[in-house]
Structure 1
Amino acid sequence: MGSGSSPPWPVQIFMFAVVMLCLIAVVVAQLPGKWEVLVSNAGIASMHTAVTRFNTVVLLDRTDIGPSRKMLPKGHCRYDPGDAVLKRDCYAHSVVLDLQTNEIRPLMILTDTWCSSGQFLLDGTLLQTGGDVDGIKKIRKFEPCEAGGTCNWVELRDVELVNGRWYATNQILQDGSVIIVGGRGANTVEYYPPRKGGAIPFQFLTEVEDNQMDNLYPYVHLLPNGHLFIFANNRAVLYDHQTNKVIRDYPPLDGGPRNYPSAGSSMMLALSGDFSTAVIVVCGGAQYGAFIQRNTDSPAHGSCGRIVATAENPTWEMEDMPFGRIMGDMVMLPTGDALIINGAQAGTQGFELASDPCLYPVLYRPDQPVGLRFMTLNPGTVPRLYHSTANLLPDGRVLIAGSNPHYFYKFKAEFPTELRIEAFSPEYLSADRANLRPGIESIPETVRYGEGFNVLVSVPLPVVGILEVNLGSAPFATHSFSQGQRLVKLTVTPSVPEGRGRYTIKCTAPPNGAVAPPGYYMAFVVNQGVPSVARWIHLVP
């Protein structure tokens, strides 16, 4: 080959491929967001995850999964003659994570929590309901404690669910009680504490049930008018839980079923202003029939529907995500933006039923016009498929856990059981925004509805614009839906300089329990899109 000749075609193709791979690597490295592994072995694959007011995280799997990778304390075992795998089970199926040390403590859970539901009560206790087999009617409580404490699960003996609840949804109401909606073979609602009448038939769930059972894990949102927006299959209703009546049917959502096992997700956007408007978003989902046919290659939907649930004549506004996605988790961030993370681009929900993991998180910016709302973020490296979760942490990161796409724990597979716990840091936590990050110096521990109160903050750089004070709930995340998730942007006055980089913000607490049900919230101060580390605040009547 002469000095002026070109390399042979195979060499040119190879060189071109190398250049393209380098360009792709550079582009990915420049995408916003940062990943880190917090725990290399949590012992269990978390199917259900919730963050407590003590900055600990409760993680739950099912009990009949076989041996986990975390032993219970010596002398503690679960005896279950109906368990086909381990009748004497000395392995943990629930753990608590200390966010300060990233240490794991095993918890004892007695009955099966497979595909159960949960919600924090007004006193900060985690209520956990239903499951499968011996757990299907069980009610459990976890009263959280300081990290290093000995708090554990307690199964109630004096009360149980009226109907078995497998794949149900819980939502705390304005009076602090909890409604439990649906479940496989349970087209009813009931309440905790129990109400007279027990389980009440809910005809809507019967109407939308199909061969795929797409009425499971219905999307339930408490609207600021006190009614419930309940979505199942591709339909939604406005439900008056006080009279147990449907008072409105919403238009069907295009694109087929979205609930389990079709594996879409849903959230209510941040409440603000006079709190009279509530907007619901439903995104993603499997092709209809993929679950029945066990089709792992069927492309996922990329469509999202958005509806003003409180409008006089509501209609769905449609848009498309950058990726088709099933089993994606939608996490409301302290800013009012949302993170869509986890899941796959093909298949459906269930064991061994998904392929092509969607490693790219997406930021959803609701205040932008259609076509500009989605931003693709830095991809992870760990596939998060069936039974994975995502939860907002008080420091603004998002905790990612779970993924067990197999009937039992299986570590030699294309998509192995995942015991690692990760954290994703949105762009607002990047080093170049550190000078904007506020710190909360003081805030009341308890506030009452409608009460005015002050928040003292410090900010490295002079404040430009309004400092927001936003309350984020601690939801129960499972199966691509965060039960009880909401963000409330408080009414505030412009911050008052106090000298030395300190500012006082005058705030008004939410007006009532329909806007923000009673309980513990993460209170964030947000400066130019950058949130503080949250302080927990107790909102009471």
Structure 2
Amino acid sequence: MPASRIILGTFLLLVLIYTAIAVTPNGFEDGGHTKVSALMMFLGNEHSVYILDKAEGNAAQVAGHVAWASVWDIELREAKTQDVRSNVFCASGMHLPNGSFAAFGGNDAVGPGGKVGNQKNPGSNTGQWDGTYQNHDGRKAIRIVSPLNCRITDQLDRMPCKWYDEDDLIMKRHRWYSAAEATGTGEVVIIGGFVTGGYINRWWPNTDPLYSGGGAEPTYEFYPSRPEEPRIMKFMETTSGLNAYAHTYLMPSGKMFVQANLSTILWDYDNNIETPLPPMPKGVVRVYPASGATAMLPLTPKNNYTPTMIFCGGSDMADEMWGSYASPAYNTWTYPASKDCQRITPEPIDKSRPVVYEQDDDMPVGRSMSQFIALPNGKYLLVNGAEFGTAGYTTSGTPDTPFDQMPFGQSLAGQPVLKPAIYDPEAPRGKRWSQEGLFESRIPRMYHSTAVLLPDASVLLAGSNPNADVVLDAAFPTEYRADIFYPSYFEAEIRPSPKNVPTKLSYGGDFFDITIPASSYKGSANEAAESAKVVLIRTGFSTHAMQMGQRFLQLDNTFTVEKGGSIILHVSQLPPNPNLFQPGPAFLYVNIHGVPSNGTYVIAGSGNIERQPIGDISNLPSSVRLDNVQGGDDGPSSSNSPTKDQKNNKNGEKSNNMVLIISAAGGAAALVVLVIVAIVIMKRRRAERMRRVAEASRALPVPHSRPWDHHENSSQTAFVAYSKDDGAHDWNASSPALPGGQYQDDTYSTYSSQYEQPYDPYTSANRYPPGPQPSPGYASPQSSHLYPYSESPLYPPPQHRYNNR
């Protein structure tokens, strides 16, 4: 073979290898297989994403039955199944203060085709248990997992890595499609829901808007459970029919912003007092199954940490077109989704300012089932969804179209939107949306699709399953493929590598220092320091076009530029109001010139469900600039012009000929070696990137005295790290799909005597394994400021939101 061909072949192979292993900014990369379809998803720690599906006929197995939960490893891009006892279909979810996550409610037990389980609840046509899919009724279930130190190499069927899903930890009411929102103490308010399910939460005509003939649950309750019975929420009656998965956001005052159907309120959940706010403009429904995108925009020192919500997309179908529990009364897949966007600021600083919805820029196209992902640079990524139709599916058709004539199988939506969009809340009106340079996804993400921000600031997309059970040959099949979107900041040659990042933050208290090495930025040190932003992102519990609990908060900071080019960021603790950023897990990112670092896992607050300790605001030192200091190491300047020696040195020419000879002789061997090296590189490259994430996350905190040592709300409970079991448990692909006999989950006593009793995750000895909470209140011998509900009101918010320096 001629030497020139070998060289050309080698060059082309190198190009292909580079293309295969390189990240494509503004594009997507293969994320592997999730084992179960990602109906729900959340980032559990710096290594793992937790995935929940409904009980259905997945090929993947766990504990001798079909699986409907898995853990996806960020570094390996592989998943391992995990056992969940009850049917978690369309549950709600929320973080807890110690880094645990809870999933509330779900569906009754089902078998193949989504049919009612073969063991019925007494006096009801709902499933108590199904012997084929081996799932229990999940409508009252509270499931808790504590993922902090858990990876797929650990034993996911052992505490603390397993899901706690037992009959001794349940809600007081059946709830399917309920809403959930954390409070400033860390407890969770669980709102509304269906009792037995359907398309929307009513019959038509709607003669019983409160209970819908027993199909609707109009009450709310708390986790941990309060002693009183659930109370009726009037808003559920006002919004009857279109109130599943109500949009909820805790406000600085401690009240809750709630939006459903076309109605909006501020709600004092302790006293059950509703304050009406203006209705959603233009008749656009944003909640399920219209499923518009919604988010709280960044809380920053600039806006004085004032929450503003954005709502985009959904549907403006007329009320009667929504139909009833049975199905929509219209061929929804022919109806265009809305492109309208609205903003609202429920608690403005200027109390004379009216609280109204404000028109925002329209999206590039109408979308239903899309969701906002907060990016560390303060922008929002919009992904997933369809341009026509709504969420949901039907196996019986609509009044106008028999099922066998529906164009997209069971799906009530069509025309997937494959191209993401970027929303910039700081841009002027008319310029907030952009799709410039963005690539399309190869995978339609329709009903039951999810997305979540990863520690390296990329975004994982997974799921899509508008089907009652697993269907692999539909227009929109049950989807197991994941992909990863890389925003434009992955174009940067250098990303910040902050040092000394704390792993625990308080509400108020002493500031801390983060070091930005000179090697992790380029150009003027002063400009880099002035551009620096330290942000916290809670990535949320992703399901049904929502990120439950997602928040973005920028910490205040000043800086000192040092002679060697290092930048010391002096960073404030969280504002002294837990209602702004509820206690629990988050990731801390440092941005330089809009390019984020890898995120560091942190816990905000005490780690307990309690009145959070509050410290005074610490004054930051003045910023110190230093001229003529540069970051990075650009090396000597280079030129494409040939040197004198290259022009005149014949030995150099001979040397080049020798290279050709060597290339020809070893070309074939080189091709083989390069292929092998490429495979190794593609594996190792991802591993190295995630090791850097882990290294950043393990950075030691700067030592400071506790900011609440002398505060009247001081808690004596110390933060205790999780423990883990280092054993391994691999998914067995050869496990039989449907073994005989009724499956029963193992009890704790199978593993260790310490698990024989229900677990309290907030005692010091058992701090992080999940389980039921003390009753009737928060009282714990290890927590001096935990209290029963009957003795103390919920924590009142500070009189000020936060005082800027």
**Residue aligned with 1:349, SS:** strand
**Residue aligned with 2:598, SS:** coil
Whether contact under 8 Å (1:225, 1:276) holds in the other structure is: no
The answer for the alignment partner of 2:560 in structure 1 is 496
Aligned to 1:187, which of 194, 215, 218?
A: 218
Aligned to 1:175, which of 180, 185, 201?
A: 185
**Residue aligned with 1:434, SS:** coil
Matched, 1:228 2:256: yes
TM normalised by structure 2 equals 0.59
Deviation per CA, 1:224-271: give whole Å up to 9, x if none.
222211110122101112322113423433232111111212111011
The answer for the alignment partner of 2:664 in structure 1 is none
Whether contact under 8 Å (1:296, 1:346) holds in the other structure is: yes
Give 1 or 2: higher strand fraction: 1
**Structure 1's 263 and 292: CA in aligned 2 closer, same or farther, altered over 3 A?**
farther
The answer for the alignment partner of 1:146 in structure 2 is 150
Distance (Å, rounded) in 1 between the aligned partners of 2:329 and 2:189: 30
Count of residue correspondences: 486
Question: What is the Cα deviation at residue 53 of structure 1?
Answer: 2.3
**Residue aligned with 2:483, SS:** strand
Question: What is the Cα deviation at residue 501 of structure 1?
Answer: 4.3
Question: What is the Cα deviation at residue 308 of structure 1?
Answer: 1.4
Aligned to 1:389, which of 447, 450, 475?
A: 450
Aligned to 1:439, which of 497, 501, 507?
A: 497
* Letter of the structure 2 residue corresponding to residue 37 of structure 1: D
Give 1 or 2: higher helix fraction: 2
**Structure 1's 508 and 356: CA in aligned 2 closer, same or farther, altered over 3 A?**
same
* Letter of the structure 1 residue corresponding to residue 103 of structure 2: Q
* Letter of the structure 1 residue corresponding to residue 219 of structure 2: T
The answer for the alignment partner of 1:245 in structure 2 is 273
Whether contact under 8 Å (2:277, 2:355) holds in the other structure is: no
Matched, 1:448 2:506: yes
The answer for the alignment partner of 2:434 in structure 1 is 375
Q: Which has the higher contact order (CA 8 A, sep 6+)?
A: 2
The answer for the alignment partner of 1:266 in structure 2 is 294
Question: What is the Cα deviation at residue 34 of structure 1?
Answer: 1.5
**Residue aligned with 1:353, SS:** strand
The answer for the alignment partner of 1:23 in structure 2 is none
**Greater CA radius of gyration, 1 or 2?**
2
Question: What is the Cα deviation at residue 317 of structure 1?
Answer: 1.6
Question: What is the Cα deviation at residue 276 of structure 1?
Answer: 4.5
**Residue aligned with 1:158, SS:** coil
The answer for the alignment partner of 1:27 in structure 2 is none
The answer for the alignment partner of 2:106 in structure 1 is 131
Distance (Å, rounded) in 2 between the aligned partners of 1:450 and 1:156: 38
Deviation per CA, 1:513-536: give whole Å up to 9, x if none.
111111111000011111110001
Aligned to 1:336, which of 378, 383, 387?
A: 378
**Residue aligned with 1:254, SS:** helix
**Residue aligned with 1:404, SS:** coil
Matched, 1:35 2:28: yes
Whether contact under 8 Å (2:181, 2:249) holds in the other structure is: yes
Whether contact under 8 Å (2:35, 2:80) holds in the other structure is: no
Distance (Å, rounded) in 2 between the aligned partners of 1:349 and 1:45: 16
Question: What is the Cα deviation at residue 296 of structure 1?
Answer: 1.1
Deviation per CA, 1:355-385: give whole Å up to 9, x if none.
0000111101011122110001321111000
Distance (Å, rounded) in 1 between the aligned partners of 2:257 and 2:91: 21
Matched, 1:467 2:532: yes
The answer for the alignment partner of 1:198 in structure 2 is 229
Distance (Å, rounded) in 1 between the aligned partners of 2:154 and 2:560: 40
The answer for the alignment partner of 1:507 in structure 2 is 571
TM normalised by structure 1 equals 0.87
Distance (Å, rounded) in 2 between the aligned partners of 1:120 and 1:374: 30
Distance (Å, rounded) in 2 between the aligned partners of 1:198 and 1:399: 40
Distance (Å, rounded) in 2 between the aligned partners of 1:138 and 1:453: 41
Deviation per CA, 1:155-202: give whole Å up to 9, x if none.
143231111110012111100101111212112211100113231211
Matched, 1:52 2:44: yes
Whether contact under 8 Å (2:531, 2:594) holds in the other structure is: no
Instruction: Single out whichever of 308-317 and 380-389 deviates more from structure 2.
Output: 308-317
Whether contact under 8 Å (1:276, 1:310) holds in the other structure is: no
Whether contact under 8 Å (2:278, 2:357) holds in the other structure is: no
Unaligned 5+ residue runs, structure 2? Answer: 1-23, 109-136, 156-160, 195-215, 323-327, 394-410, 606-612, 614-805
Distance (Å, rounded) in 1 between the aligned partners of 2:499 and 2:562: 12
Aligned to 2:388, which of 335, 346, 358?
A: 346
Distance (Å, rounded) in 2 between the aligned partners of 1:292 and 1:162: 33
Question: What is the Cα deviation at residue 397 of structure 1?
Answer: 0.5
Distance (Å, rounded) in 2 between the aligned partners of 1:349 and 1:302: 16
Distance (Å, rounded) in 2 between the aligned partners of 1:201 and 1:168: 14
Whether contact under 8 Å (1:387, 1:404) holds in the other structure is: yes
